[in-house]
Structure 1
Amino acid sequence: PLSSISGSPPISFFPRNMGDQEVREVLRCFICYGRVKDARMCPSCSKMMCNGCVTKWLSEKQQCPHCRSPLVVEHLVICRFMDELVKELEKVDQKRNKEEVCQHHGTPLAYYCSTCKYAICSDCAVFSTKHKNHKIEKLNKVYFRHVSVIKEELKRIEKRLDTMRELADNIEANIRLVKQKKEERSRELEAAVVEMNGRLTSRLKEKLVKLLACRNDVQREASLLDSLMHELSCQLDTSVCSKALLIEKSGELLAMLEELHKKPLIDAGKTHVPDDFPSEIRPDYKEATLVVNDFEKEGSRNGVLYSREIVINGLHWRLKVYPNGNGTAQGVYVSVFLELTKGFSGCEKYEYVIEMIHHTNPQRSVSRVFSSPFEIGESWGYNRFFRIELLQSEGFIAKEGEVQFNIKLRPPSYYRLAQDQARYIAFLESDRKITNNDTRDSKEELFKRLSDTIPTLSRSRSQSNTSNSCEREQEDFQPPQNESKRRPSIIHKAN
């Protein structure tokens, strides 16, 4: 019902261009012409009236005092928001009156005391000792000065707002561009997947053509052999072929069979077509194997065994196997983990397959496939990989007592593989640059040492030449020296 309407007025209740006097007129009671109290509204003409005024009126006349429409108290609309508006208007009036008139003298505030930082009247400025020797200016002058400062700040804010709006527009444009590029990449991926699927279909057709041709050859020869067997069975049947006739035809039959046996069998290797279809989205797995010899003996040691490392673009991986379990699984389960031993800083998310090979039937091998983020030195895997007590009965331990584990590893996509390759290439180039610098420094140090050694060597040679000249003068008295004996001393000095 209309009488239950209450709350705050809508934002557009008063037009923005409505003046102060017009607002006051709206808040005036139509009966007493005073400010409305406990407002009630006529549902027909929307006129505001005090609750007391309209109740008294309707006790005498059952019609609206403004539009004369039939009206009773129960049909009046309660307007609680009008009471709030009236209170706010009263506060504004009180504040305005308080600000514009001096509280001490009741005269208008026409001056401003810059020392005290508030407005004063002319009596306060002239007669009050409180503002003696203070800096006093006209209120309007101070007001317009502050208005000028605020307007300058407003211009700065407007400029900042324009910048923010421009930035917001740029961000919106960026968002649209990002979405557009994403859609383009999605279309490229869809087109690439269609092409890849087409290539897969072509490979399938090539394989099927070869297999179907091989199947036709096998079926043709099998049909021929079946017919020949039937013919031979008939010849061996005495009710069909007499003994004399069989003896007569045996030479021909044996010659035919010999000719058939001379014909080579269809090579089984040629009839087999590999069932692999290389993926153009995900790289192939790299594999490593760990064979645990004498598994029961290794399990009794409560140690850990490692496979050979798999190196993919500078990332070193290995398989860790606890034959007797690790942690809470010790003595109950075999524990198997993949560990990143060396690499680069950051998180490496790779896909891996951990397998325990069945000794007699590879189809029964236990396999776990997962994808985990690795940090250097971290291990991910399975603490409870397989129950130790079931290894022998399930056929995972060979007669020699060995158990074989395989690990397969790959990056999740060719894009990640390319990123890892680029990072590894950058690392190798940086390492090569450091090595070249170290080599250059070593050469410079060597040349410096040689340059310090050469003058000493020259002096030694000059002394040797002087000694040789003396020796030549006295060669009749001294035998010649062996050059091979003298050469090591020179080389030693040069070194």
Structure 2
Amino acid sequence: MSSPNNGTATVETLSEVFRCFICMEKLRDARLCPHCSKLCCYPCIRRWLTDQHHQCPHCRATLHLHELVKCRWIEDVTSQLDTLKINETNKQKGEEKDKCELHKEKLTVYCQSCSKCICHQCALFNGSHVGHSFLPFDDIYKTNLSIVNEHLGKLKRRHVDLICLAQDVERNVENVKIARDERFKEIINIMQTIQSKLDEQFKIKMDALVGKIIN
């Protein structure tokens, strides 16, 4: 049977592979020995080799700085391992929250009298729950899920109604704009017609006045 900590153990094992064999810490600016393929930090191996040690500290083969292989991909791997560690830690914390603080058992029963989730041992043997009414946790989950889905369905329908209403408002606004533009054109045409008639009447009167003056 697999242990709940297997995931964390696997991540830790992988992390050990990607540790510097000199300082035993997470690799920084990783380099690889071309003779034994061991990984180490560049600052660590540089210090080792510059202190008159022209040998790999692991395999003892002759080694110089320029022979070291730079491993750019190591940073991506260690970054992913850090993310996995965080995820595993959060997962374990979540699992602890789903367990009874007293018996460390999984919460499987809902006490209706206390309005709280408890484990089966609390329901059977804990004196504080004597005479209380219980429901299986799965039933409570399904009931609440059904209620949530029902409300979600109502919200979706309301959302559709609001979209339709917004579209109607947009159409009405567009119709109002069109009617306004048409009315404005009508007013301009009327004003131009009136202006034209006034100009014509003014010309007739001016011609008549000039004729009288000449005569």
Alpha-carbon shift at residue 194 of structure 1 (Å): 1.6
Out of 88, 104, 107, which is 1:106 matched to?
104
Out of 10, 15, 27, which is 1:53 matched to?
27
Alpha-carbon shift at residue 112 of structure 1 (Å): 1.0
Alpha-carbon shift at residue 139 of structure 1 (Å): 0.5
Alpha-carbon shift at residue 99 of structure 1 (Å): 3.2
Alpha-carbon shift at residue 154 of structure 1 (Å): 1.4
Verify the 8 A CA contact 1:100 1:109 in the aligned structure 2.
yes
- Give deviations 1:132-176, integer Å, cap 9, x for gaps: 111111100111011111111112212221221111111111111
Which residue of structure 2 lines up, in the alignment, with residue 32 of structure 1?
15
Out of 133, 140, 157, which is 2:155 matched to?
157
Work out the CA distance in 2 between the residues paired with 1:95 and 1:187. Answer: 72
1:90-105 matches, cutoff 5 A: 92-93=90-91, 96-105=94-103
2:174 maps to 1:173: no
Number of residue pairs matched by the alignment: 161
Which residue of structure 2 lines up, in the alignment, with residue 278 of structure 1?
none
Alpha-carbon shift at residue 62 of structure 1 (Å): 6.9
Work out the CA distance in 2 between the residues paired with 1:177 and 1:89. Answer: 56
Greater alpha carbon shift after TM alignment, 53-62 vs 108-117: 53-62
Work out the CA distance in 2 between the residues paired with 1:98 and 1:197. Answer: 88
Letter in structure 1 aligned against 2:184: S
Decide which structure has greater helix share.
2
Unaligned runs of 5+ residues in structure 2 are 1-6, 18-24, 31-40, 46-67
Q: TM-score under structure 1 normalisation?
A: 0.29
1:302-451 matches, cutoff 5 A: none
Work out the CA distance in 2 between the residues paired with 1:117 and 1:98. Answer: 20
2:49 maps to 1:66: no
- Give deviations 1:416-464, integer Å, cap 9, x for gaps: xxxxxxxxxxxxxxxxxxxxxxxxxxxxxxxxxxxxxxxxxxxxxxxxx
Q: TM-score under structure 2 normalisation?
A: 0.62
- Give deviations 1:331-381, integer Å, cap 9, x for gaps: xxxxxxxxxxxxxxxxxxxxxxxxxxxxxxxxxxxxxxxxxxxxxxxxxxx
Which residue of structure 1 lines up, in the alignment, with residue 22 of structure 2?
none
SS class of match (1:169): helix
Work out the CA distance in 1 between the residues paired with 2:162 and 2:154. Answer: 12
SS class of match (1:137): strand
Alpha-carbon shift at residue 65 of structure 1 (Å): 3.9
Alpha-carbon distance change, 199 to 95 in structure 1, aligned in 2, over 3 angstroms: farther
Which residue of structure 2 lines up, in the alignment, with residue 272 of structure 1?
none
Out of 202, 207, 210, which is 2:208 matched to?
210
- Give deviations 1:265-311, integer Å, cap 9, x for gaps: xxxxxxxxxxxxxxxxxxxxxxxxxxxxxxxxxxxxxxxxxxxxxxx
Which residue of structure 2 lines up, in the alignment, with residue 182 of structure 1?
180
Verify the 8 A CA contact 1:112 1:119 in the aligned structure 2.
yes
Decide which structure has greater strand share.
1
Which residue of structure 2 lines up, in the alignment, with residue 121 of structure 1?
119
Letter in structure 2 aligned against 1:32: S
Work out the CA distance in 2 between the residues paired with 1:215 and 1:58. Answer: 113
SS class of match (1:125): helix
Unaligned runs of 5+ residues in structure 1 are 1-23, 35-50, 218-495
Q: CA RMSD in A?
A: 3.5
Alpha-carbon distance change, 183 to 214 in structure 1, aligned in 2, over 3 angstroms: same
Alpha-carbon distance change, 144 to 196 in structure 1, aligned in 2, over 3 angstroms: same
Out of 126, 136, 139, which is 1:138 matched to?
136
Verify the 8 A CA contact 1:113 1:134 in the aligned structure 2.
yes
Letter in structure 2 aligned against 1:66: W
SS class of match (2:113): coil
Work out the CA distance in 2 between the residues paired with 1:91 and 1:181. Answer: 65
Letter in structure 2 aligned against 1:131: H
Verify the 8 A CA contact 1:32 1:53 in the aligned structure 2.
no
- List structure 1 runs of 4+ shifted beyond 6 angstroms: 85-88
Work out the CA distance in 2 between the residues paired with 1:88 and 1:165. Answer: 42
SS class of match (1:112): strand
SS class of match (2:135): strand
SS class of match (1:53): coil
Greater alpha carbon shift after TM alignment, 166-175 vs 56-65: 56-65
Alpha-carbon distance change, 91 to 157 in structure 1, aligned in 2, over 3 angstroms: farther
Verify the 8 A CA contact 1:101 1:109 in the aligned structure 2.
yes
SS class of match (1:106): coil
Work out the CA distance in 1 between the residues paired with 2:162 and 2:172. Answer: 15
> Which protein, 1 or 2, shows the higher relative CO under an 8 Å CA cutoff with sep ≥ 6?
2
Work out the CA distance in 1 between the residues paired with 2:115 and 2:86. Answer: 27
Alpha-carbon shift at residue 106 of structure 1 (Å): 1.4
Work out the CA distance in 1 between the residues paired with 2:85 and 2:194. Answer: 76
